[in-house]
Homo-oligomer: A and B are copies of this chain.
Amino acid sequence: MDNTSLLQKKRTAYQPSLPSILNDLNHIIFKPVPIKEPLPSLKPLFPKTFHQKAYSLEKGSSTEKKSLKIGVVFSGGQAAGGHNVIAGLFDAVKLFHSNSQIIGFLDGPGGIIQNQWVELSEKKIAPYRNQGGFDLIGSGRTKIETADQLASSLKTVQEHGLGGLVIIGGDDSNTNAAILAEYFLEKGCGCKVIGVPKTIDGDLRSKEIEISFGFDTACKIYSEIIGNIARDALSAKKYYHFIKLMGRSASHVSLECALATHPNLALIGEEKKSLSEIVKEIADLVCRRAEAGKNYGIVLIPEGLIEFIPEMKELIAVLNQAATLQMEDVEKHLKGEQKAFFASLPEKFKKQLLLDRDPHGNIQVSQIETEQLLMELVKKELKKRTEAKAFKGKFSAQEHFVGYEGRAGMPSNFDANYCYALGTLAALSVHNGLTGMICSIQNLKRPPQEWRLMAVPIVHLMHLETRLGKEKPVIQKALVDLKSEAFLVFAKARKSWEIDDSYRYPGPIQFFGDLDLTDSVPFSLK
Please give, as numbers and ranges, the residues of chain B lying within 8 Å of A135 by CB-CB distance: 231, 234-235
Known pairs A235-B133, A505-B131, A510-B510; A241 contacts B516 (CB<8 A): no
Binds B, one of A51-59, A164-172, A405-413: A405-413
Give Cα A5–Cα B135 distance, bound, in whole angstroms.
32
The answer to whether the Cβ of A104 comes within 8 Å of any Cβ in the partner chain is no
Q: Which of B10, B134, B232 contacts A513 (CB 8 A)?
A: B10
Q: Is the CB of A510 within 8 A of B507?
A: no
**1/0 per position for A217-239, CB-CB distance to B under 8 A?**
00001001101110110111100
Give Cα A134–Cα B237 distance, bound, in whole angstroms.
10
Give Cα A505–Cα B496 distance, bound, in whole angstroms.
38
Q: Is the CB of A3 within 8 A of B503?
A: yes
Give Cα A400–Cα B229 distance, bound, in whole angstroms.
15
Q: Which of B3, B77, B505 contacts A5 (CB 8 A)?
A: B505
Q: Which of B6, B228, B260, B398 contacts A221 (CB 8 A)?
A: B228
Band of interface residues on A: 35 or more
Give Cα A181–Cα B163 distance, bound, in whole angstroms.
79
State how many copies of this chain the complex holds: 2
Q: Is the CB of A231 within 8 A of B7?
A: no
* A138, A140, A225 pick with most chain B CB within 10 angstroms: A225
**1/0 per position for A1-45, CB-CB distance to B under 8 A?**
111111110110000000000000000000000000000000000
Q: Is the CB of B132 within 8 A of A404?
A: no
Measured CB to CB, the closest approach of chain B to A277, in angstroms, equals 25
Q: Is the CB of B410 within 8 A of A232?
A: no
Please give, as numbers and ranges, the residues of chain B lying within 8 Å of A346 by CB-CB distance: none
Measured CB to CB, the closest approach of chain B to A143, in angstroms, equals 16
**1/0 per position for A361-375, CB-CB distance to B under 8 A?**
000000000000000
Q: Is the CB of A133 within 8 A of B232?
A: yes
Q: Which of B5, B408, B509, B520 contacts A504 (CB 8 A)?
A: B5
Q: Is the CB of B228 within 8 A of A405?
A: yes
Q: Is the CB of B241 within 8 A of A404?
A: yes
Give Cα A4–Cα B7 distance, bound, in whole angstroms.
26
Measured CB to CB, the closest approach of chain B to A434, in angstroms, equals 28
Q: Taking CB as reference atom, which chain B residue is nearest A232?
A: B408
The answer to whether the Cβ of A511 comes within 8 Å of any Cβ in the partner chain is yes
Known pairs A221-B228, A228-B404, A406-B228; A505 contacts B8 (CB<8 A): yes
Q: Taking CB as reference atom, which chain B residue is nearest A261?
A: B5
Known pairs A228-B132, A235-B139, A236-B78; A512 contacts B509 (CB<8 A): no
Please give, as numbers and ranges, the residues of chain B lying within 8 Å of A140 by CB-CB distance: 236-237
- 6 tightest CB-CB pairs across the interface, nearest first? A508-B508, A512-B513, A133-B231, A134-B235, A232-B408, A231-B408
Q: Given A224-B409, A510-B510, 7 more contacts at CB 8 Å?
A: A138-B237, A228-B408, A229-B408, A232-B405, A398-B404, A511-B513, A512-B512
Q: Could you show 16 A-B contacts with beta carbons less than 8 Å apart?
A: A1-B496, A3-B504, A7-B507, A7-B517, A8-B504, A139-B236, A224-B409, A225-B405, A228-B407, A228-B408, A229-B405, A232-B407, A398-B404, A400-B404, A409-B508, A508-B508
